[in-house]
Amino acid sequence: MVLHQSWLHLSTIVLGLALPSWASFENTAVVRSIDLGGSLVYATTTYNVKALEDGSNVYVFALTEKEQETTSWMEAKVKGHSAPLSLENHGLSHEYVPDLMALVWCAVAQVIISSATYYYSVALPKALDTNQTANLVLETVQTHAAYPFPPEAAQNDRQTLMYDTDLFVLSPYKTLVQRTKFK
């Protein structure tokens, strides 16, 4: 047990040294709504972000490998604004996290991000100063994310669609509160 705690502490220190200056945000709340619309899955994730330093203007979103594979459309906006923000795809990138792993702080648990994490960044229309907040909305449409269950059924048997997702939204930032809703 002591070895595990030491490793966790060492990982935290390594993460702190490896984060570049873009780590100037904190997620005060993340709310994800998932609308299971048959063969398409609509996910809307709202990030309430707080700037931790003056001039914070680039926010980074993270997708799991599964989300990356099934996402066919995505758009980011500042909540209440109609103009979408330009998303820059960094792909499977090690620029934002150490090569081995990074710790993402959630209100409930520590989640380990593997190297199979895809990153997108947006430039905010106006840089935020320390403790200023903004609400960012990331909308995605996923195809081939739901699958029939059971995989095969007779003519009169019941068959439903299943959808698997992670409980927590990945983020390279400290996250205080997260909630996922299904419609």
pLDDT of residue 91: 86
CATH number at residue 103: 2.60.40
Total number of domains constituting the chain: 1
d(C-alpha 134, C-alpha 140), whole Å: 20
High-pLDDT (> 90) share of the chain, % = 56
Take residue 13 and report the two structure tokens written for it: 């220190």
Which residues lie across from 143 on neighbouring strands?
Answer: 40
Instruction: Express each pLDDT in 63-90 by its tens digit.
Output: 999 999 999 999 999 999 999 999 999 8
Domain of 159, in residue numbers: 2-182
DSSP assignment letter at 63: E
DSSP assignment letter at 73: E
Instruction: Express each pLDDT in 140-163 by its tens digit.
Output: 999 999 888 898 989 999 988 888
